[in-house]
Amino acid sequence: MTGGGYAAEPASDSYDVVIVGGAIMGSATAWFLARNPDFDGSVLVVERDPGYGSSSTAHTNSCMRQQFSTELNIHISQFAADFVKNLRSYMGDDRVPELHIRNYGYMYLADNAGFADILCANQAVQRAAGAQTELLAPEEIAARYPFYNLEDIVLGSINLKDEGYWDGGTVFDWLRRSARDHGVEYIDGEVVAMAQAGGRITSVTLASGAVVTCGTLVNASGPRAARTARASAADGVYTGEFTTMAMCGFIRAMGEGDGCLDRLWTKCYEESKGSI
């Protein structure tokens, strides 16, 4: 055994699903597969850093919000809230602790009429999807949260249900533990190359030299995902092309925090008529 109690080599040379990266996304994928009654395949998770010291998962602030501009994103986040609050029941394991969300809410502040219009439109989408977003005039914000400087603020938007801190470390830990309990194999290794045929990844090569064939490959390697994909460059899957979207300050100024990325991407995609 090596780091994290993971074996250094896979038990088999062939799996139905190979997941590159065993942090929260890779472990969630593994857990949902392992618990899906319609799936009875084999799953291998390859993790190059079993201590997870350099993963995003180890550094997250563990906050979630419901304030998005699209119904789908809101429903995804509502499911996430339900999953966190009912983790024990989802896991079906009495050892799992009861978790809560600290509902401090995200306060979005508009400093102009255009931004305020976006907050109003978003609130309508959020309320229709079941979120409890409130719009607050500056006087209402001042009464509730006297520490804000509201000099140039015309409107605020906040939601105090299922929006705030939660215990991401515990959720991650149980996704991983439960996935392993249900037959998912984790190894301490690094995917350094991939082979493909017919537009599909058919095998991965580990740093140890071992070659593992796979029916499906899941790239859950976080910020290293592009680097991981480049491991198949010799076979022509990863082109190295990318699209620079915008500078952070500019997109933030468009009005709704991280959701601006979704809007900007949609706009660029539509303008390019699907060529990117």
Ligand X SMILES: Cc1cc2nc3c(=O)[nH]c(=O)nc-3n(C[C@H](O)[C@H](O)[C@H](O)COP(=O)(O)OP(=O)(O)OC[C@H]3O[C@@H](n4cnc5c(N)ncnc54)[C@H](O)[C@@H]3O)c2cc1C
Which residues contact ligand X (rule: CB under 6 A)?
20-21, 23-26, 46-49, 52, 55-57, 59-64, 190-191, 220-224, 228
User: In what helix (H) or strand (E) does residue 68 lie, and over which residues does it extend?
Assistant: none
Measured from the CB atom, is 21 or 156 closer to ligand X?
21
> Side chain identity at 255, as an amino acid letter?
G
Measured from the CB atom, is 24 or 34 closer to ligand X?
24
CB of 204 to ligand X, least distance (A): 9
> Which pair of structure tokens corresponds to residue 5?
């109690």
Measured from the CB atom, is 115 or 186 closer to ligand X?
186
> Which pair of structure tokens corresponds to residue 231?
């491991």
The answer to whether residues 156 and 108 touch, using CB atoms and an 8 Å cutoff, is: yes
**d(Cα 123, Cα 134) in Å, to the nearest integer?**
7
Measured from the CB atom, is 23 or 260 closer to ligand X?
23
Q: What is the DSSP letter of 258?
A: T
**d(Cα 141, Cα 139) in Å, to the nearest integer?**
5
Q: Give the chain's end-to-end CA distance (angstroms, integer).
A: 44
CB of 151 to ligand X, least distance (A): 28
CB of 248 to ligand X, least distance (A): 14
CB of 18 to ligand X, least distance (A): 10
